Amino acid sequence: MTLSLTNTMKRAKEPFVPANPDHVTMYVCGPTVYNLAHIGNARPARDHATADRLRAELAALGTAVEDRADGSAWRRTG
C-alpha cells in the first residue's frame, strides 16, 4: 500500500516518501489563543484530527512516528 498526500502547491497527489522509511517525525502546532475564542480557533482541531489520521496510516504501514513537540513516539499496536 502506498500513502499519497496532496501537494497543495502543485494541486496534485504525490506518493509520500520519507527520508527514513522506518521512522517519521512530525510536528503539529496547537492553537494560540490570545483573546476571546472565535471560529478561527477551531482550525487546529481539524489539523490535529488530520495528523492523527496520518499517524494511523503510517503505523499501518509499519512506520514508527515521533512527535517532535514533546519527543513521544507512537508505535503500531496489534
List C-alpha distances in Å: 44 to 10, 23, 26, 49, 62. Answer: 24, 24, 15, 8, 27
Contact 18, 24 (CB under 8 A): yes
**Structure confidence by residue, pLDDT tens digits, 1-47:** 678 889 989 999 999 888 888 888 877 776 666 777 777 666 766 77
User: Domain map of the chain by residue range?
Assistant: 4-74
**Structure confidence by residue, pLDDT tens digits, 40-70:** 666 766 777 788 888 888 888 888 887 666 5
In angstroms, the CA 54 to CA 32 distance is 22
For CA atoms 66, 67, 71, 73, the dihedral sign is: negative
Q: Residue 14 has what pLDDT?
A: 94
Residue whose grid cell is 490535529: 48
